[in-house]
């Protein structure tokens, strides 16, 4: 059950300048995700900003609902995960990227925010790691001691959505996309 102290909708009309979140030591990962799903971009936000905002929210929701997260969802955000698998890693990565977007990027003129290029780079990396079939993410996880990837795969819905991360409706020039891709 969502925390009743949180508003049903949390409008992000401008970059918050701070990383808003519930108490990481008291809030479960499920409720933590729910908090960020309540964020709503400014209705007149730049199309590229809105695209990244909404895709990251949907990905976070799909990732937290993935069967590989069952052992982790009722733990607090600050508690080391019971199952350190690629779904957990991507959930954390996607939510942190979303936090950067909400806190540091101007919704109306994202290209004026230095953090926007980082967000785009992180989005491209999330896409690459999610749809990659060579085992790159499994290798990365193994290199830091995450050993729970056996049999864990992203759902088709997650892969399709991740593949949309760099398909901006408009508002991002080809040059800006190339620059962001070069940073990944």
Predicted structure pTM score: 0.88
| 134 falls within a domain | yes
**Residue 128 maps to a domain:** yes
Q: Residue 52 region, left (φ>0) first, then alpha (ψ -120 to 50), else beta?
A: alpha
pLDDT attached to residue 175: 62
Q: Which domain holds residue 159?
A: 26-182
Residue 93 lies in a domain: yes
Percent of the chain with pLDDT over 90: 73
Could you tell me how far CA 52 lies from the centroid of its own chain?
9
Domain annotation covers residue 104: yes
Q: Report pLDDT digits (tens) over 28-68.
A: 999 999 999 999 999 999 999 999 999 999 999 999 999 99
Inside any domain, residue 70? yes
Residue 91 lies in a domain: yes
In the chain, the number of structural domains is 1
Q: What is the pLDDT of residue 1?
A: 47
125 within domain boundaries: yes
80-132 pLDDT per residue, tens: 999 999 999 999 999 999 999 999 999 999 999 999 999 999 999 999 999 99
| Structure confidence at residue 174 as a pLDDT band (50, 70, 90) | low
């Amino acid at each position: 059950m969502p925390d009743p102290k949180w508003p049903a909708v949390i409008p992000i009309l401008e970059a918050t300048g701070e990383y808003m979140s519930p108490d990481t030591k008291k809030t479960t990962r499920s409720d933590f995700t729910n908090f960020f799903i309540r964020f709503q971009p400014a209705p007149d936000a730049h199309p590229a900003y809105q695209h990244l905002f909404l895709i990251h929210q949907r990905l976070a929701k799909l990732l937290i609902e993935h069967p590989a997260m069952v052992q982790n969802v009722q733990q607090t955000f600050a508690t080391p995960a019971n199952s350190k698998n690629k779904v957990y890693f991507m959930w954390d990565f996607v939510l942190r990227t979303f936090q950067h977007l909400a806190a540091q990027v101007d919704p109306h003129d994202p290209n004026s925010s230095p953090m926007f290029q980082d967000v785009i780079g992180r989005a491209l990396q999330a896409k690459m790691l999610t749809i990659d079939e060579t085992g790159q993410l499994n290798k990365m996880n193994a290199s830091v001691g995450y050993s729970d990837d056996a049999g864990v795969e992203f759902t088709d819905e997650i892969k399709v959505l991740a593949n949309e991360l760099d398909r901006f409706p408009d508002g991002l020039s080809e040059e800006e996309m190339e620059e962001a891709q070069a940073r990944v």
